[in-house]
Amino acid sequence: MKKQNYELTVGWLYPELMSTYGDRGNIIVLQKRIEWRGMGVKIKRINHDSKADELISCDILFMGGAQDIQQEIVQKDLNGTKGKIISKLIESNTPGLFICGAYQFLGNYYIDSYGIKIPGLGIFDMYTHSDQAGKRLIGNAVIKPHQLPTNNLKLSNYIVGFENHGGRTILANKDLAFAEIIKGYGNNGEDTTEGIHYKSTIGTYLHGPILPSNPELADYLIENALVKKYGKEIALSKLDDTYANKAKTNILMRLKTSY
């Protein structure tokens, strides 16, 4: 692949704490799909002991999920300068992908199993509460994404993944949802919504990890990052996604969802 004079920095937020469900796979996909197109890429690991201003140079943000103890550590760190910078980046259309616990952090607040209200970053207009019965929403999921504002890319009809969460997320408005749930539970198991889409950032409960099974979603983030950084549309060269598409088709067939 001919080398191009473009470079993106992917900010991997709290990789030591927020990567319980194989979410490192999402970082690998972003890195390789940028490299395979002849562009430079840097993976910047942002931990709780990193300086907040290291976030400023990030072109794509990513954070995965974790258990309660790890989330408590991250929550405290996000209440400082890092959270304010993340908010500014998202508001200025820096693309991001936030999964499960990370998705919940960006809401208005979270009510834990003891009824304690924990403030979030307030970027997403939503809140999350713990299920009082302790029931988790677990299993393979199929979602149908709503139309996303993108220049050259079209998301496929369905996105597949795996969800495992005890939280119930309620959006202020169902129109904010990233997708409609076709199989599985989604945000709360009741209102057919899954995730949220705000500006160029996506929050979702889908692990899997999500990007290897749905590479078009990775390209959505890459394309929007290029537009934000360079101020112009940069067409992404087509990659061979034969195996990823076959894997997705197999999952859809097993879940009896037409493709």
Would you please indicate which residues are annotated as catalytic (active-site) residues?
Answer: 100, 207
Paired sense of beta strands 179-183 and 137-145, if any? antiparallel
Q: What is the dihedral of CA 123, 126, 127, 128, to 10 degrees?
A: -100
Backbone phi, psi, residue 210, to 5°: -75, -40
Token pair recorded at residue 7? 């470079």
C-beta of residue 126 within 8 angstroms of C-beta of residue 241: no
C-beta of residue 83 within 8 angstroms of C-beta of residue 121: yes
- Spatial separation of the C-alpha atoms in residues 177 and 192, rounded to whole Å: 9
Positive/negative CA dihedral, 43, 12, 100, 120: negative
Q: Measuring CA to CA, which residue among 105, 130, 70 is closest to residue 201?
A: 105
Three-state SS at 67:
coil
Q: Tell me the angle at which helices 24-35 and 215-230 cross, rounded to the nearest 10 degrees.
A: 60
